Amino acid sequence: MRAVRWACVVGLIAVVPYAGSLDSGFHYDDFHSIVYNPHIRSLDEWPTFFTDARTFSEDPQQAMYRPVLVLSYALNHAVSGGGATGYRVVNLLLHGFNAALLLLLCRGLRWRAGMVLLTALWFALTPLNAEAVLYVSARSDLLMGTLVLCACLAYRRCSDGVGRQVGAPAAASAAAVPGRFGGPGQVDAGTPETTSGVVANDARLHPSGLAAHAVGLHSSGVAAHAASLPPSGVTATETGARNNEAADPQVSGRMAGSRLAAWALVALLCGTAALLTKSTAAVLPAVLLATDAARGGWALVRRRWAAYGIGLCLVLAYVGVSRSLVLGALSSPVRPLTRQAGSQALAWVYQALLAAMPVGLTVEHQFHAAPGVWSLRVIASLLVIGSALVAVARSRSLELRLAAVWAGLFVLPATVVPLIVLVSERRLYLSSVGWSMVAAWALLAVFSRRPRVAGGLAVAYTTILLGLTVQQVPVWADELSLWRHAVVQAPEMLKPHLRLGDALAVAGDEVGAERAYERALQVRPHHPVARNNLGRLYLQQGRWDEAEAQFHRVLDRHPELVPTRLNLASLLLRQGRWQEATGQFAQALEHDDTQGVAQRYLGLIALQHQADPAQAAALFAAALERGPPSAAVWRLRGVALRQLGKPEEARRAYREALRLQPEDADTWYNLGNLLVDLGQHQEAAAAYQRALSQAGDTPLGAVVRKLLAAMGGGG
């Protein structure tokens, strides 16, 4: 129970640096996957999360198969609404829970108390994990981390139970021998060979002072509480329970078998859920294998090959399902294989430096893709990586080997699969477990003979991590603070300037937004999104000629870019050039489904300029079928149906519009006109009154007052 209490303490410590972040807002990808995502606003259709990858986002082009993550968003929305605070609270709780789980997992590895505590504490406090906690959409990494750690713990409980059943005689004979990771009896009870191997390893390491450091570190006062963590062996309560069960071997065997089956099922379910949260969890079978090797050597690994096989089959099944639901996800790599290999060689070294010195952190790092594998920087990086691997392989420390596995495995998927963003701090969330292990191992190994120095360094490092993490909170306060910070940290990268321009435009700083877009185009002159957004800014300012020029420049190089074509068509329509606008809307539909936008505008053109209400009504129906529910489109459809002499259908269209937007003055006005046509003057007057209450002193309000006066209704 003391270990559980320590886990709770570490979990609370993990939350402390982020206490000031609850009032922060949403950021970039949050908007398409959470804020504007209609799929998460109700739990009624939650099974579709597992069958339709498009539920991940409002934009079908950004579909991803992460059903458990989407379900967590939907649950969050159901409980706390659409505000950012509720989502942030869940992120903080997940991080604290993960830190607590990590302490329990490390304790189960029978490590020294100081190693266990420092690993969990530094994982909890490292600023390298700030993006994963402060960025709501990075919940994919947090939630996957929770499920992976739970799977590891459940697997350990199951495998330990099997080991006790199979190797009870060996465990009894070894109970008096000090184990590698703790006190008496703390050895793997699987086989006599495993036990002897662990003890022999301890005897080889002890002369270097590694096994003696705990007493000295305890005397320094820094890890005094850590040393009081209970051993991971059998407690008195557990021993008594087993003695009672031993009175009836058949009952004991059935109960033990049921417990093992339950833990195995928990491990399987958590592993599956982790995969359905983020595909990086595909490395979980390798992590379990490495953990077994660290605890019991290759003899233990050979005994448990079936468990790794089940995990591998699960991963292969997930890959098959996800590829069928997200077509082309892996078929169009963003860079050639040679550039990917060289870039990842540089990225591994860069990320290792970030983990060792977590300063200069930012949402967008100034990191460019390598030209290939033969540049001097890439060769030097490969030599560094190779040297590190050789050093780890030759090391006798099982802790260091396991740390290297954790640090490397969880960045391996991004190494194998080319992604647009080469370096992302949130991807290092579970990898930081390994780096925390490395830091703890280094402190305890290098300074084992100088405990006071070790204690002082532990306190100083913990304090530095805490301070650096606290500094990240105001950076993530809102979009403006985030991208202003990124522009300073990565001035040569496109995204910071582009995103800052978007944030400034939303904030109403049109001058600053224009300057940011122009800087983005200086970094990449032909970037279509930067030029499109600059054109949109000109359009909002009424600088129509400049906006049209920007849109044409984009379409000359990227004629398939539908958003730019829609922007150009909208501009032409505003200028009264509806024939040209019709052609642009039609071309947009030839390139892609516009989710009802093109149909809506074409219906408006048919209604206002072509005097074709039948065509307009059909186009509005298509817009409603292909796009999200829209009160404006229902209202326009009602106008077209009224002109067609279909009053009841028009009335239903207006009622649907009012259901979506009850206080829309235009809809109440049009409904009043329809009711006048039907001779229902009392109901028409009531509709006009509702329109007037919303229109006020606008031109529409003046029209409604005249109508009410003519009807004798005043106003």
Q: HSE-up of 279 (CA within 13 Å, CB side)?
A: 18
Q: Taking the chain, what is the end-to-end CA distance rounded to the nearest angstrom?
A: 74
Task: List the beta bridge partners of residue 184.
Answer: 178
pLDDT band at 611 (very low <50, low <70, confident <90, very high): very high
Q: How far is Cα 231 from Cα 218, in angstroms, rounded to an integer?
A: 16
Number of Cβ atoms within 10 Å of the Cβ of 105:
22
- 8-state DSSP, 184: B
Among all chains, which residue has been given the structure tokens 């990225």? 347
Q: Residue 465 above 80 pLDDT?
A: yes
| Per-residue model confidence (pLDDT) at position 175 | 38
Q: Which residue has the higher pLDDT, 87 or 247?
A: 87
The distance from CA 316 to its chain's CA centroid, rounded to whole angstroms, is 22
The mean predicted confidence, pLDDT, of the chain is 85
The distance from CA 34 to its chain's CA centroid, rounded to whole angstroms, is 11
Task: List the beta bridge partners of residue 337.
Answer: none
- 209's enclosing H/E stretch is none
pLDDT band at 163 (very low <50, low <70, confident <90, very high): low
The pTM of this model reads 0.81
Q: Residue 204 above 50 pLDDT?
A: no
Highest mean pLDDT among 389-403, 435-449, 589-603 belongs to 589-603
Q: How far is Cα 157 from Cα 539, in angstroms, rounded to an integer?
A: 63
Write the DSSP string, 260-318: HHHHHHHHHHHHHHHHTT-GGGGGHHHHHHHHHHHHHHHHHHHHTHHHHHHHHHHHHHH
Nearest to 110 by CA among 199, 191, 9: 199
Domains parsed from the chain with CATH numbers: 337-475 (no CATH), 593-653 (1.25.40.10), 667-715 (no CATH)
Amino acid identity at 683: E
Q: Residue 253 above 80 pLDDT?
A: no
Q: How far is Cα 533 from Cα 500, in angstroms, rounded to an integer?
A: 12
Nearest to 10 by CA among 142, 88, 134, 117: 117
Question: What six digits make up the tokens of 682?
Answer: 């009392």
- 8-state DSSP, 420: S
In three-state secondary structure terms, 654 is helix
Residue range 487-542, pLDDT digits in tens: 999 999 999 999 999 999 999 999 999 999 999 999 999 999 999 999 999 999 99
Percent of the chain scored above 70 by pLDDT? 84
Residue range 274-296, pLDDT digits in tens: 999 999 999 999 999 988 887 77
pLDDT band at 690 (very low <50, low <70, confident <90, very high): very high
Residue range 381-421, pLDDT digits in tens: 999 999 999 998 888 888 888 899 999 999 999 888 888 88
Q: How far is Cα 40 from Cα 595, in angstroms, rounded to an integer?
A: 19
Q: Residue 171 above 70 pLDDT?
A: no
The Cα-based distances of 175 to 166, 199, 711 in angstroms read: 16, 12, 99
Is the separation of the CB atoms in 552 and 569 below 8 Å?
Answer: no
Question: What six digits make up the tokens of 507?
Answer: 């904030």
Q: What is the average per-residue pLDDT within 288-315?
A: 85
Among all chains, which residue has been given the structure tokens 């082009």? 61
| Per-residue model confidence (pLDDT) at position 433 | 95
Please list, residue by residue across 632-644, b when 16 or more beta carbons sit within 10 angstroms of its beta carbon and e when fewer do. Answer: bbbbbbbbbbbbe
Please list, residue by residue across 613-629, b when 16 or more beta carbons sit within 10 angstroms of its beta carbon and e when fewer do. Answer: bebbbbbbbbbbeebee
